[in-house]
């Protein structure tokens, strides 16, 4: 049992308890952990040795909520608008892209965020018509819950089913209308594969070794097509619209292997705060209305029950307090207990009593600390919700203190665990703040737990997969600048992928 690889002279943070200096890997797994001298003794002439020179090692990060095809397409096919610092800059990029692609060809942009712009308003149809009158153009907001299309694009695409979600006047589409629109523009399989390969490279460079992906249905095909060469561990979560198809074929949560497996069924209970359609108990501060629930309670209950009965873990997207209440009621009505590990995604604006109910029902809070970029004085959440509600948004500390299992992900806004950990540690309000150690655990072991995988990953222990990340600095000694720490190496199953 000589190891394939040994790592020596490390500052290994195991997450499961304590630190170690060295470890040994054989057949993708960690077979020994301890002091240098102990581990050195296991090696023979076929063992590769790596001297870490005191560098910090963590378990590979598990991003518990991401959409990797979108990340990749932004690098390959789509126009990335996430860095635009004003509306004019975003429109200028659209103008250039339209020119480069030629008259009549599609321009699809992603990632615009009006809260970053001095104008503080959404892109409209007129804006896009002005800069690209000859091209169909569609630009998706950073949260994916909203899209602006120009006149040419609205002529080309049929949106039939969701009149309430279409503002023709301004070219603004929301929720299901967005998915219906984009469904008609899906790139071919080869493009999806190319996008995923780019996104996987990016994930490696950020220290991510596992993801819980929430793909559109054609992305399942792309992931499957990459299966044999896959260098990322992927849990695919099934959109509720596809549940019948999957259950008919006998699929359920857990099907697959250490590389590619089926996770939960995903149900949307509401929209987002940025798009102004997260469902709130009290009205928005900057617009009329309280947002919108996607389903009547009885229908949500029915969907949750159906997924649960058919052997699927359930994940419900719920951002506003009213949507969280609806999700909790549906999970309770379905008789779901802690064993089922149901998840509420985002869980941004819970009331204290809702956090207690999470604990009681054993539901996992799957949250995204990088959303804190929109919290604090003068930021988007304060504008939308008012100061009082902004000060109780994303309450990671309260969630942990109440004993609720908390898993972290990125929702690709943007992806990057160190960035998320940084924001959780340096959050604007006390109830949002975690210690570095707590935030790391949420992004590793707890995220693994949220996909029933805490026995095989999420910490550095003998018997677990050798998914590891080597950092330039110890985050526990650099709490105020975690986001500046560099990922130096990433290992998946003991193989160096970055």
Reduced to 3 states, what is the DSSP secondary structure of residue 124?
coil
Shortest Cβ 346–Zn ion spacing (Å): 8
**Residue placing its CB nearer to Zn ion in the complex, 198 or 411:** 411
| Nearest by Cα to 253 from 210, 315, 167 | 315
Residue 222 beta carbon to Zn ion: minimum distance, rounded to whole angstroms:
18
How are beta strands 107-112 and 79-80 bridged, if at all?
Answer: parallel
Give whichever of 394 and 411 is closer to Zn ion, judged by the CB atom. Answer: 411
Please spell the DSSP secondary structure of 144-167, one letter per residue. Answer: SSEEEE-HHHHHHS---S-GGGEE
Nearer to Zn ion, 21 or 270 (CB): 270
Q: Which two tokens stand for residue 456?
A: 């095989």
- Please, which residue, 80 or 356, has the CB nearer to Zn ion? 80
Asked if 346 and 366 count as a contact pair (C-beta separation under 8 A), the reply is yes
Neighbours of 302 (CB within 10 A): 15
The span from the CA of 36 to the CA of 33, in Å, is 9
Which residues are at the interface with Zn ion (CB under 5 A)? 411
Q: What values do phi and psi take at 147, rounded to 5?
A: -145, 140
Report the side by side order of strands in the sheet with 19-20. Answer: 19-20, 11-13, 56-59, 468-471, 487-492, 495-496
- Min CB(446)–Zn ion separation in Å: 18
Q: Which residue is nearest to Zn ion (CB)?
A: 411
C-beta of 14 vs 370, nearer to Zn ion:
370
Instruction: Find the shortest distance in angstroms from Cβ 251 to Zn ion.
Output: 22
Q: How far is the CB of 214 from Zn ion (least distance, A)?
A: 6
d(CA 472, CA 202): 18
- Smallest gap, in angstroms, from Cβ of residue 278 to Zn ion? 13
Q: Mutual orientation of helices 321-333 and 297-309 as an angle, nearest 10°?
A: 50
For the bound state, the minimum distance from the C-beta of residue 194 to Zn ion, rounded and expressed in Å, comes to 22
Closest C-alpha among 382, 349, 345, 317 to residue 115 = 382
* 321 vs 411 by CB, closer to Zn ion: 411
Q: Which residue, 357 or 370, has its beta carbon nearer to Zn ion?
A: 370
**Residue 301: both structure tokens together:** 């209950």
């Amino acid at each position: 049992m000589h190891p394939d690889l040994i790592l020596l002279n490390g500052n290994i943070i195991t997450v499961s308890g304590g630190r170690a200096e060295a470890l040994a890997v054989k057949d993708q797994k960690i077979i020994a952990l301890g002091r240098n001298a102990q581990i050195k003794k296991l090696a023979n002439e076929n063992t590769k040795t790596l001297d870490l020179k005191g560098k910090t090692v963590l378990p590979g990060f598990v991003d518990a909520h991401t959409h990797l095809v979108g990340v990749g397409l932004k690098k390959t096919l789509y126009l990335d608008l996430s860095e635009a610092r004003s509306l004019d800059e975003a429109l200028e990029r659209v103008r250039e892209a339209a020119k480069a692609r030629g008259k009549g060809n599609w321009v699809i942009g992603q990632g615009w965020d009006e809260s970053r712009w001095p104008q503080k308003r959404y892109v409209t149809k007129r804006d896009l018509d002005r800069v690209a009158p000859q091209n169909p153009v569609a630009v998706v907001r950073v949260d994916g819950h909203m899209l602006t299309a120009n006149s040419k694009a609205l002529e080309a695409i049929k949106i039939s089913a969701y009149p309430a979600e279409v503002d023709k006047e301004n070219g603004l589409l929301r929720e299901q209308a967005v998915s219906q629109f984009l469904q008609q523009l899906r790139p071919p399989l080869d493009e999806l594969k190319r996008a995923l390969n780019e996104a996987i490279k990016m994930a490696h460079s950020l220290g991510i070794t596992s993801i819980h992906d929430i793909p559109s249905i054609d992305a399942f095909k792309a992931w499957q097509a990459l299966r044999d060469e896959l260098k990322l561990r992927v849990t695919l979560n099934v959109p509720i619209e596809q549940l019948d198809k999957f259950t008919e074929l006998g699929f359920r949560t857990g099907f697959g292997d250490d590389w590619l497996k089926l996770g939960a069924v995903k149900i949307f209970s509401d929209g987002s705060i940025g798009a102004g359609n997260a469902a709130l108990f009290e009205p928005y501060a900057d617009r009329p209305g309280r947002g919108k629930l996607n389903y009547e309670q009885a229908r949500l209950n029915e969907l949750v029950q159906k997924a649960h009965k058919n052997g699927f873990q359930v994940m419900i997207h719920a951002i506003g307090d009213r949507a969280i209440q609806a999700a909790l009621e549906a999970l309770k009505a379905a008789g779901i207990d802690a064993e089922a590990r149901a998840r509420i995604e985002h869980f941004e604006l819970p009331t204290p009593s809702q956090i207690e109910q999470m604990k009681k029902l054993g539901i996992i809070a799957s949250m995204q600390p990088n959303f804190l970029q929109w919290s604090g004085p003068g930021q988007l959440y304060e504008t939308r919700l008012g100061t009082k509600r902004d000060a109780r948004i994303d309450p990671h500390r309260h969630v942990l203190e109440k004993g609720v299992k908390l898993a972290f992900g990125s929702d690709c806004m943007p992806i990057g665990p160190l960035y998320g950990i940084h924001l959780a540690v340096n959050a604007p309000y006390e109830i949002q703040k975690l210690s570095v150690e707590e935030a790391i655990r949420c992004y590793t072991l707890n995220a693994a737990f949220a996909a029933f995988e805490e026995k095989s990953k999420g910490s550095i222990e003998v018997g677990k997969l050798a998914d590891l990340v080597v950092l330039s600095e110890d985050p526990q000694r650099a709490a105020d600048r975690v986001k500046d720490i560099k990922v130096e190496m990433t290992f998946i199953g003991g193989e160096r992928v970055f």
